Structure 1
């Protein structure tokens, strides 16, 4: 009997940055709003249902214009979990928050944004995340 394997290719047309910050999510969103002239608004928590292992919740802030989508996501689940790695991006568990940017241009382009993030007082470290190397790309399909 033949077996078939389903291979799913995800379209990764976004930039992803990891932030290390001891700040609360609303404080970090406020800092990003002031610095980058955004309007990040709290959204309902992002829910990731793992069939046999439970549900993970992640805080989620969103800024949308006609051309830009800017998301601030908490990397660690808000709820306790039996999982060893209750993260949105388990490959990058060293990051507290993730910035998901689609169509970033000008001061929000990847080259321009990283130095700006690195000097924010609420951010201890900012670094790019290699999107192609993500093991769980489906977590970032919004």
Structure 2
């Protein structure tokens, strides 16, 4: 019998930024709201069921308008976790937060957005990433 395989290609048409910040996610969301004139809202945490009884719980903030979408994720899992890699994106484990930008806000030049983000005193470091280079990029598809 002939075996058929389903080959699915996803589009990663968003800009991705890693941010180092020691603050709580709600404080960072508030600062981003003021800086970018958006309204990030706390959404239900994202649950990834992994092998065994392990579960990865990620904090999730969302701003969505007719023209753009901005998501703020906490990279490290919430609560007590026994996983070896308790990160949304283990290839970016040095970064505390992930900012995903789609739509009109992408029209800002990445360097211009990085300069804006660096104005927030809560953010120590920002770097843009190409989602296609990440091993666990599927975790960003919601």
TM-score (norm 1): 0.89
Residue 47 of structure 1: aligned partner: 47
Post-superposition Cα deviations, 1:66-92, rounded to whole Å, max 9, x if no partner, equal: 010001100000032222111000000
Post-superposition Cα deviations, 1:38-88, rounded to whole Å, max 9, x if no partner, equal: 101110101112133521111111110001000110000003222211100
Q: CA RMSD in A?
A: 2.1
Give aligned pairs, total: 142
Residue 123 of structure 1: aligned partner: 123
TM-score (norm 2): 0.89
Contact 1:42-1:62 within 8 A present in 2 as well: yes
Residue 67 of structure 1 pairs with residue 64 of structure 2:
no
Cα distance 1:132–1:106, how it changes in 2: closer, same or farther (>3 A)?
closer
Q: Distance in 1 between matches of 2:4 and 2:87?
A: 30
Give the unaligned 5+ runs of structure 2.
Answer: none
Equivalent residues in 2 for 1:1-142, closer than 5 Å: 7-52=7-52, 54-105=54-105, 108-142=108-142
Contact 2:75-2:97 within 8 A present in 1 as well: yes
Post-superposition Cα deviations, 1:27-46, rounded to whole Å, max 9, x if no partner, equal: 00111111111101110101
Give the unaligned 5+ runs of structure 1.
Answer: none
Contact 2:16-2:100 within 8 A present in 1 as well: yes
Cα distance 1:124–1:106, how it changes in 2: closer, same or farther (>3 A)?
same
Contact 1:107-1:113 within 8 A present in 2 as well: no
How far did 1:104 drift?
3.7
SS at match of 1:80: coil
